[in-house]
Structures are given as structure tokens and as C-alpha cells.
């Protein structure tokens, strides 16, 4: 996996870089540093850029493959920056059988991005999720946590327009 999936380039500031260096100094040589370091690195950068994961790998002497394994296992971690509006389409069973897959495809087409990416202007990011507890409104998507239900693919553009 690489940042080629992401069309917003890494833009770590010197302050963020020095916070990361301090963080790694604090945890070097400690037992099981990986998860706390990843959590705090995500707080610093807002997500976990590949460049940051490489630095963590080198400094803590943990293989990049192991780090990616941890990052992709826990849904809390994100490998890409979120847009101003983060769209999450529920692909849980109740939503999927009612057509959330078509809604997800339509969003990818309209936004010109794949799931897990952010538009070049930083406005919208798109992801799939599991049940958000609103099955009665299936199929469902959320935009920054705001629920939109009983969706059809034809409704997607009008909903996006509300966030222009
Ligand atoms: S399966 Fe989508 S909200 Fe429950």
C-alpha cells in the first residue's frame, strides 16, 4: 500500500516533524511501543501518512509490513487524510441488500475518487463502513456523522450539493 492511493500529498509541518521525533524518543526502548506511537502520530498528523510510518519503522526497528498489519487491523487508524466532509457509506447487510453498493459506486463516479481517497480540493473523502445502527433507514450514508437514509444512487448529487 502506498500514498499513490491518496491524491493529497504529504504535507507534514516542521512542528509536526519535531513532535514526531520527540514522541519516538519517548518510546524508544520501551515495551510494546507501536500502538501508542501510532495513536499519537495520528493525533499529530490527522492520519498516518506512509512517510510517517516509514520513520516509525526505522526508529522503532519494527518492519513496515508489521506496522501496516496493525494499522489496517484497527479501524481507528486512517492511512489517508479526511476531507472537509467525510462520507461514509454503510455496506452492512441491511444497507447492502437495499442497494448501498450502487450508492457507493455512484459517489465514486461523481466525486472521481475511489473509496479510501479524498478529492484533490480536500473537500470530500469517501469510505465504506459497517452498520451505523440506522438499519431502519437503509440504505444509509453519513456525511460528517449526519445520517442520510433511504438512499438511491439518483439522490447522491443533490445530497452532495448540500455541502457545497
Ligand atoms: S446495516 Fe447499514 S445501518 Fe445497519
For ligand 1, the distance from its centroid to the CA atom of residue 78, given in whole angstroms, is 21
Number of Cα atoms under 13 Å in the Cβ half of residue 2: 1
C-beta separation of 130 from 94 below 8 A: no
Is ligand 1 within 6 A of the CB of residue 6?
no
- Within 13 Å, how many C-alpha atoms sit on residue 163's CB side? 19
Question: pLDDT of 87-117, one tens digit each?
Answer: 999 999 999 999 999 999 999 999 999 888 8
Give the CATH fold of the 85-161 domain.
Glutaredoxin (3.40.30)
Ligand 1 pocket test, pick from 101, 140, 141, 145 with the greatest ligand atom count within 8 Å of Cβ, gives: 140
With 70 as the cut, is the pLDDT of residue 5 above it? no
Residue 92 CA, closest ligand 1 atom number: 1
Regarding the beta carbon of 140 and ligand 1, being less than 6 Å apart is answered: yes
User: Does the pTM exceed 0.85?
Assistant: no
Ligand 1 atom closest to the CA of 91, numbered from 1 = 2
> Distance between CA atoms of 70 and 75, rounded to whole angstroms?
10
Tens of pLDDT, residue by residue over 121-138, are 889 999 999 999 999 999
Amino acid at each position: 500500500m502506498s500514498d499513490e492511493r491518496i491524491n493529497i500529498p504529504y504535507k507534514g509541518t516542521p512542528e509536526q516533524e519535531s513532535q514526531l521525533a520527540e514522541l519516538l524518543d519517548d518510546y524508544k526502548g520501551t515495551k510494546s511501543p507501536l500502538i501508542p506511537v501510532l495513536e499519537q502520530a495520528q493525533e499529530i498528523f490527522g492520519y498516518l501518512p506512509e512517510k510517517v510510518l516509514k520513520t516509525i519503522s526505522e526508529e522503532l526497528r519494527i518492519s513496515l509490513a508489521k506496522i501496516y498489519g496493525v494499522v489496517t487491523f484497527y479501524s481507528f487508524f486512517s492511512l489517508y487524510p479526511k476531507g472537509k466532509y467525510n462520507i461514509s457509506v454503510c455496506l452492512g447487510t441491511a444497507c447492502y441488500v437495499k442497494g448501498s453498493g450502487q450508492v457507493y459506486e455512484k459517489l465514486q463516479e461523481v466525486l472521481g475518487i475511489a473509496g479510501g481517497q479524498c478529492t484533490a480540493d480536500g473537500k470530500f473523502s469517501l469510505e465504506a463502513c459497517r452498520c451505523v445502527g440506522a438499519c431502519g433507514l437503509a440504505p444509509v450514508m453519513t456525511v460528517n456523522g449526519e445520517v442520510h437514509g433511504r438512499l438511491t444512487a439518483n439522490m447522491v448529487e443533490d445530497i452532495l450539493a448540500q455541502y457545497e
